[in-house]
């Protein structure tokens, strides 16, 4: 297994993205844009993701706007996307699609 602080090569990132169809690689980060039914629904999802991030001690960038939540994972110490970023993106999918 790749060390969580080692950035994955581009080919592996593209391969792993097949398992996360709602996610893209954008500016060297995993990104998911979630469209909620209301601003409060998007805020609720943000709070659930924030709690998950605290538990994992790995924090995505979260951008909340009207009925839209953008989640971005990138590991600063690796200067890229790691296996941990993918693991947490999968957990976010379970939060957004219960």
Determine the Cα–Cα distance for residues 9 and 55; give it in Å rounded to an integer.
Answer: 27
Does residue 77 register a pLDDT over 70? yes
- Of the options 3.40.50.720, 3.40.50.1010, 3.30.70.1400, 3.30.1360.20, the CATH number for the domain spanning 10-96: 3.30.1360.20
Q: How do residues 9-47 score in pLDDT, each as one tens digit?
A: 999 999 999 999 999 999 999 999 999 999 999 999 999
User: pTM for the complete prediction?
Assistant: 0.90
| Domain boundaries along the sequence of the chain | 10-96
DSSP letter at 38 equals S
Mean pLDDT of the chain: 93
Nearest Cα neighbor of 46 from 65, 27, 25 is: 65
Does residue 56 register a pLDDT over 70? yes
pLDDT at 2: 46
pLDDT at 4: 60
């Amino acid at each position: 297994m790749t060390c969580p602080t080692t950035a994955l090569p581009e080919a592996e990132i593209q391969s792993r993205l097949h398992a996360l169809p709602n996610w893209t690689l954008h500016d060297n980060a995993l990104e998911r844009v979630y469209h909620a039914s209301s601003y409060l629904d998007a805020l609720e999802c943000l709070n659930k993701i924030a709690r998950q991030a605290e538990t994992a001690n790995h924090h995505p960038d979260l951008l909340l706007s009207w009925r839209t939540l953008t989640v971005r994972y990138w590991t600063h110490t690796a200067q890229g996307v790691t296996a941990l970023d993918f693991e947490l993106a999968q957990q976010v999918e379970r939060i957004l699609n219960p």
